[in-house]
């Protein structure tokens, strides 16, 4: 019998990575193309086919059988297989991406947003194995989320559930890329902590290692490095970020009462710097019945592979 | 063949009502006992049995067959069949109510919190018939909620999901009965609007019909009556309440992307006074992808029967 395999494709604003994965989550081979250089979606599909089709051919010669293609993409709609009004992708309006890929490869193709794909990946191969109720929070440029209830991803009525990055935490707060003010992701994300750091550097007249860094070169990584060297202002930036995240996690718990919340993405590399204030603020704000019950865990997926693994895991859910 | 029937029991802090319901949601007979007068749960079960057993006997003589008992109760846990630390009930700690009732009546008994029961009632007999994704908000003394995703009630990992009344909307806001500050229900509930009205009467030096009412006699009903007579301050109290509710509904939508939000309870009798500002604030705060998609509907269950109907509908979900 041939070994069942799945293709995972992760489409980001800059690059698209893809790979072929077995049932256990082993990445057999992978590759990447530019997203941004393909302003026309048809050219993108063509470039993807040129790079990916030979990999599919190769694994089938080696005894594998690719069962389908899973795609994780910002603003992806699971029900319709479309990308809709994605601000960070080159393609405007509504793009029927799943059917375009399905036609190009003649393989069943399923698509969801990137954070939902990460949640499925975590449930299939990572820290949420065996869990039926958890929330996945991805902390990248923005804040994405995938919510699992009763063992199923919550898609909602229209396929757009789980936009927790756009919960409004301060009605007159920071301007968000979505056009509104005070969204969670303007505070809690790689870009959010950079904004916080700039505010702290301006408002506090104390020493900081980051005063020696050009403002435009301050990133979540330079803030982390400074914090790890004991920089008080950088540590405060993490504490502020974790406090806001923890307060909101307490609200999310009141919604779906999950077994765990799993944090994923660049910001989580800061470890205790971000986990400690997050858990502290969450516990402080939890309703009594939830206290000391909710695990806050780091993802167990390797960051570089996670998006591909998550997208590929969608394939195992296709009902044949 | 005998007609399948279900018992619904709604336990409130003051009174307990019960009734026998057919598959179509017709209430065949009903009754009530005091909750508050039975400080011992065993006496409560005894009183319940004395009143309810004859009704069950009567319908069975008339060709019906009671399939089970459903109970809606504050702080009810569906998984464990328990009431846990209910501040408004006479029984302390953890009470295994479902098994006590099951033993007394030798009928399968299932229990959930009152707002979850209302959600199931609405899905079975009311405004949410045919919907698979909706949120039920009950506006009584507090704010309760029942969340339905993919046709299933969200119970969460421990059976306590859907405590949206305890989402914190102002971190340093009004003191809540739960011991924390700024919970949604301290603003949006029958008691919340009374607090708002008192604040408005104190801070604004304008005429109001409610200045002629003794402070302790101001209720959500007197505020509604004044608003219906055009009292500007009473109208403002509804607008403030609706604004906070609508802002939070926008956040809830980002969680589960429901088809509809259904409002139930005394406050909703104010009709447009509460619905208009709620919908306005929700739409103003919704992420673009959700705008003009989410219905906000009044419950279609008769208020006096709804809790019994909802509790009885639990019985149809028992897997036999």
Tell me, what's the ipTM? Answer: 0.90
What tens digit of pLDDT does each residue of B177-197 get?
Answer: 888 999 999 999 999 999 999
Over range A141-146, report the average pLDDT.
92
**Given this model, what pLDDT does residue B319 score?**
66
pLDDT band at B317 (very low <50, low <70, confident <90, very high): confident
Over range A251-274, report the average pLDDT.
96
CB neighbours of residue B42 within 10 Å:
10
**Given this model, what pLDDT does residue B14 score?**
86
Q: Of the ranges A117-121, A134-138, B269-273, which one carries the lowest mean pLDDT score?
A: A117-121
Identify which of A133, A160, A252 has the shortest CB distance to residue B290: A160
**Given this model, what pLDDT does residue B267 score?**
93
Q: What is the CA radius of gyration of chain A?
A: 20
| Secondary structure of B80-146 in HEC code, one letter for each residue | CCEEECCCCCCCCCEECHHHHHHHHHCCCEEEECHHHHHHHHHHHHCCCCCCCCEEEEEECCCEEEE
Distance of CA B157 to the CA centre of its chain: 21
**Given this model, what pLDDT does residue B1 score?**
77
**Given this model, what pLDDT does residue A110 score?**
95
Task: Decide if A155 and B287 are in contact by the 8 Å CB cutoff.
Answer: no
Task: Decide if B147 and A255 are in contact by the 8 Å CB cutoff.
Answer: yes
CB proximity list for B256: less than 8 A, separation 6 or greater = A147, A154, A156, A161, A255, B133, B135, B147, B149, B154
Asked whether residue B216 carries a pLDDT value surpassing 90, the answer given is yes
Asked whether residue A96 carries a pLDDT value surpassing 70, the answer given is yes
Asked whether residue B304 carries a pLDDT value surpassing 80, the answer given is no
**Given this model, what pLDDT does residue A111 score?**
95
| Chain B residues touching residue A147 (CB < 8 angstroms) | 255-256
**Given this model, what pLDDT does residue B41 score?**
95
Closest approach of chain B CAs to the CA of A229, in angstroms? Answer: 32
Over range A26-43, report the average pLDDT.
95
Over range B75-91, report the average pLDDT.
89
Q: Determine the residue among B123, B135, B161 to mutate to test chain A binding: the one whose Cβ has the most chain A Cβ atoms within 10 Å.
A: B161
Any alpha helices (H) in A30-162, and if so which ranges?
Answer: 41-61, 97-105, 114-125
First to last CA, chain A: 17
pLDDT band at B140 (very low <50, low <70, confident <90, very high): confident
**Given this model, what pLDDT does residue B86 score?**
82
Identify which of B168, B257, B258 has the shortest CB distance to residue A251: B168
pLDDT band at A27 (very low <50, low <70, confident <90, very high): very high
Task: Decide if B149 and A156 are in contact by the 8 Å CB cutoff.
Answer: yes
| Chain B residues touching residue A161 (CB < 8 angstroms) | 133, 149, 255-257
Extended beta strands in B163-286, E state: 260-264
Over range A115-138, report the average pLDDT.
94
The count of CB pairs under 8 A between chains A and B is 136
Q: Rounded to whole angstroms, how far apart are CA atoms A231 and A224?
A: 9
**Given this model, what pLDDT does residue B272 score?**
97
pLDDT band at A320 (very low <50, low <70, confident <90, very high): low
Token pair 């389908």 is found at: A68
Q: Of the ranges A108-112, B38-42, B86-90, B140-144, which one carries the lowest mean pLDDT score?
A: B86-90
**Given this model, what pLDDT does residue B88 score?**
77
| Chain A residues touching residue B84 (CB < 8 angstroms) | 289
Asked whether residue A87 carries a pLDDT value surpassing 70, the answer given is yes
Closest approach of chain B CAs to the CA of A180, in angstroms? Answer: 8
Over range A177-187, report the average pLDDT.
94
Asked whether residue B320 carries a pLDDT value surpassing 60, the answer given is no
3-state secondary structure of A37: coil
Asked whether residue A307 carries a pLDDT value surpassing 90, the answer given is no
Asked whether residue A149 carries a pLDDT value surpassing 90, the answer given is yes
Domain boundaries, given as residue ranges, for chain A: 3-122+304-316, 132-299
Identify which of B132, B154, B163 has the shortest CB distance to residue A287: B163
| Chain B residues touching residue A255 (CB < 8 angstroms) | 147, 154, 161-162, 164, 167, 252, 255-256
Per CATH, domain A132-299 is 3.20.110.10: no
Identify which of A132, A161, A250 has the shortest CB distance to residue B256: A161
**Given this model, what pLDDT does residue A319 score?**
66
Over range A162-171, report the average pLDDT.
95
pLDDT band at A48 (very low <50, low <70, confident <90, very high): very high
Closest approach of chain A CAs to the CA of B221, in angstroms? Answer: 29
CB proximity list for B62: less than 8 A, separation 6 or greater = none
User: CA geometry: angle at B291 spanning A195 and A307, to 5°?
Assistant: 55
Asked whether residue B226 carries a pLDDT value surpassing 60, the answer given is yes
Over range B152-159, report the average pLDDT.
94
First to last CA, chain B: 17
Phi, psi of B148 (to 5 degrees): -115, 125
Asked whether residue B242 carries a pLDDT value surpassing 90, the answer given is yes
pLDDT band at A301 (very low <50, low <70, confident <90, very high): confident
CB proximity list for B272: less than 8 A, separation 6 or greater = none
Q: Domain B130-299 is of which CATH architecture?
A: 2-Layer Sandwich (3.30)
| Chain A residues touching residue B158 (CB < 8 angstroms) | 257, 289-290, 293
Distances (CA, A) of B92 to A214, B27, B123: 60, 32, 32
Task: Decide if A290 and B160 are in contact by the 8 Å CB cutoff.
Answer: yes
Cβ atoms of residues B313 and B274 within 8 Å = no
**Given this model, what pLDDT does residue A129 score?**
93
Give me the percent of chain B exceeding a pLDDT of 90: 85
Pull the structure tokens for residue A71.
């795609």
| Chain B residues touching residue A132 (CB < 8 angstroms) | 157
Over range B48-67, report the average pLDDT.
96
* Chain B residues with at least one Cβ partner in A under 8 Å: 75, 84-85, 132-133, 147, 149-150, 152, 154-164, 166-168, 171, 178-180, 247, 250-252, 254-259, 285, 287-290, 293
CB proximity list for A128: less than 8 A, separation 6 or greater = A119, A122, A134, A136, A148, A260, A262
Return the exposure string of B76-104: e unless at least 16 CB atoms fall within 10 Å of the residue's CB, then b: bbbebbbbbebeebebeeebebbebbbeb
Task: Decide if A168 and B251 are in contact by the 8 Å CB cutoff.
Answer: yes
Q: What CATH class is the domain B3-122+304-316?
A: alpha beta
3-state secondary structure of B292: coil
Pull the structure tokens for residue A210.
């980051």
**Given this model, what pLDDT does residue B165 score?**
95
Mean pLDDT of chain B: 94
Asked whether residue A18 carries a pLDDT value surpassing 60, the answer given is yes
Closest approach of chain B CAs to the CA of A66, in angstroms? Answer: 30
Mean pLDDT of chain A: 94
Same fold, A3-122+304-316 and A132-299: yes
Question: pLDDT: is B233 or B318 the higher one?
Answer: B233
What tens digit of pLDDT does each residue of B252-265 get?
Answer: 999 999 999 999 98
């Amino acid at each position: 019998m041939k070994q069942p395999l799945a293709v995972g494709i992760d489409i980001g604003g800059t690059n698209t990575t893809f790979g072929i994965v077995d049932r256990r989550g082993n990445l057999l081979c992978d590759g990447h193309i530019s997203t941004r250089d393909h302003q026309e979606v048809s050219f993108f599909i063509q470039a993807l086919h040129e790079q990916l089709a030979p990999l599919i051919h190769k694994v089938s010669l080696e005894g594998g059988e690719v069962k389908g293609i899973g795609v994780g993409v910002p603003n992806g709609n699971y029900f319709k297989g479309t990308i809709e009004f994605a601000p960070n992708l080159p393609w405007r309006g509504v793009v029927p991406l799943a059917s375009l890929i399905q036609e190009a490869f003649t393989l069943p193709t399923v698509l969801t947003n990137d954070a939902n794909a990460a949640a499925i990946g975590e449930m299939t191969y990572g820290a949420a194995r065996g869990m039926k109720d958890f929330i996945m929070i991805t902390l990248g440029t923005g804040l994405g989320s995938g919510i699992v209830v009763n063992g199923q991803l919550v898609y909602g009525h229209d396929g757009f559930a789980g936009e927790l990055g756009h919960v409004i935490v301060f009605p007159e707060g920071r301007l968000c890329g979505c056009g509104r003010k005070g969204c969670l992701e303007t505070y809690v994300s790689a870009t959010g902590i950079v904004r916080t750091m700039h505010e702290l550097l301006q408002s506090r007249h104390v020493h900081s290692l980051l005063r020696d860094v050009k403002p435009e070169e301050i990133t979540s990584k330079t803030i982390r490095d400074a914090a790890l060297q004991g920089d008080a202002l950088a540590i405060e930036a993490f504490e502020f970020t974790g406090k806001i995240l923890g307060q909101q996690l307490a609200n999310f718990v009141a919604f779906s009462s999950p077994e765990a919340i799993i944090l994923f993405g660049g910001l989580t590399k800061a470890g205790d710097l971000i986990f400690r204030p997050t858990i502290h603020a969450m516990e402080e704000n939890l309703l009594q019945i939830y206290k000391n019950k909710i695990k806050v865990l780091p993802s167990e997926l390797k960051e570089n592979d996670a998006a591909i693994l998550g997208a590929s895991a969608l394939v195992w859910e296709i009902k044949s």
